[in-house]
Amino acid sequence: MNSLNINCKNCNNKLTFKIADLGFSPPSNSFLKDLEHSEIYYPLKVYLCEKCLLVQINEYKNAKEIFSKDYVYFSSYSNLWVNHAKNYASMIKKILNLDSNSQVIEIACNDGYLLQFFRDMNSLGIEPTTSTASVARNKGIKVIEDFFDSNLAKSLPKANLIIGNNVLAHIPNIRDFIKGVRIALKEDGVANFEFPHILNLIKYNQFDTIYHEHFYYYSLHSVMNLFENENMYIYDIDLLDTHGGSLRIYASKVNKKISKKIQKILLLEKQYKLDSKDGYIGLQKNMQNLKNKFLSLLLRLYKQNKKVVAYGAAAKGNTILNYCGIKDDLILYAVDSSPHKQNLFLPGSHIKVLSPSYLKEIVPDYIWIPAWNVSDEIISNVKEIVKIDCKFIITTPKLHIINV
């Protein structure tokens, strides 16, 4: 598996080992207002740097194009995610002894889903997308509408706490980003970043988390290496259930003694051979197996005249739809609770997104849940709000049907 003239964004080593090839697709959050205009398809290939172990895709579409002013992902539409943010805020305030004089900065604050729980102190959000930043401001949150980098960091107040949830994967110039975090952090400050752990992507075949917005897929080893290159040190972690299994790192300017939890995860990664290319060899085969099984199921249901729809217009789902080549003949429509996605069309598949209330109009026999990480919440919504008896299809970590 060879690449052509692609270098690692961390160490500049030439990338020669491709661990996953999902063909060509449009960016997963590039929803369409109509079907009159053509789309641009980009390669979606994932590489491992055998020198620094950073897993990455090439930057085919500029981040400023992906995170445009009309970005459609709003974090607050997931109750589970908002509760996760609330619990984190309560926990970290106690751990760091934060008070009304403390300065908190969240990078990529989206619609204020998290900073709303820090309004009792000096809080500041950095968010490049106008659509989400305006909602955060309506919640009384101060927002700088820009991309975070080392230059912007010089103008910010020094922070006791810097937060970035699921943002580390989205930064093409990751070295400069971490340099900016160091600049904006107080000498005794702490930076928390959450990101999906690539160990779970490999272990549970979570390849649907691969899309053009995600430039990187981190092991603990690779992210520690990145931070140390910029004189930042990861000294502790929390293991999280979010997004199919994530890590929350604690980083500082001071080289502290690392926790036993870090040592345990590093050992686990070595046991799964993530310290070499050997641990990644089976991913492409597992992807293909899931593709074959999912397509076979949808084709069988189609022949039986069963109505299949999707609940949740998630980026995860768009990755699978485009990898499998699925259109609206096999999945009639999608529903999503976010009004910002409703009446748009999914990129590539051109499946129309409607309100969940539409489930009453054309009642499905099966509902596919692309956002498997919040499947319990979605099933509850269908049962309690829409009150439809049907079967649910889950594709990750393996294809199965839930009868409710």
Residue that finishes a domain, picked among 243, 262, 280: 280
State the pLDDT at residue 69. Answer: 57
Domain final position from 280, 312, 332: 280
- Given a cut of 70, the residues of the chain with pLDDT beneath it are 1-4, 60-73
User: Does residue 152 share a domain with residue 139?
Assistant: yes
Tell me the three state secondary structure of residue 75.
helix
The confidence score (pLDDT) of residue 4 equals 57
Residue 59 counted as domain residue: no
Q: Among 261, 280, 299, which residue terminates a domain?
A: 280
Residues 276, 321 within the same domain: no
**Four-CA torsion 237, 243, 324, 341, nearest 10 degrees:** -130
Domain membership flag for residue 159: yes
CATH of the domain at 344: 3.40.50.720
pLDDT value for 321: 98
Are residues 359 and 247 part of one domain?
Answer: no
Cα–Cα dist 49/68, whole Å: 29
274 and 334 assigned to the same domain? no
Per-residue 3-state assignment (H helix, E strand, C coil) for 294-310:
HHHHHHHHHHCCCCEEE
One domain for residues 383 and 265: no
Q: The CATH number of the domain where 102 resides is what?
A: 3.40.50.150
Would you tell me how many other CB atoms lie within 10 Å of the CB of residue 340?
Answer: 19
For residue 33, being part of any structural domain is answered with no
- Which range of residues forms the domain containing residue 387? 284-403
Q: Name the percent of the chain lying above pLDDT 70.
A: 96
Any domain includes 61: no
Number of independent structural domains in the chain: 2
As a whole number of angstroms, the distance between CA 14 and CA 51 comes to: 9
Q: Same domain, yes or no, for 233 and 124? A: yes
Neighbouring C-beta atoms of residue 267, cutoff 10 Å: 9
Q: At what angle do helices 260-271 and 220-229 cross, to 10 degrees?
A: 120
User: Which residues 6+ apart lie within 8 Å of 376 measured at CB?
Assistant: none
- The whole-number pLDDT of residue 73 equals 66
**Quick one: 288 and 397 in the same domain?**
yes
Pairing label, strands 216-217, 233-240: unpaired
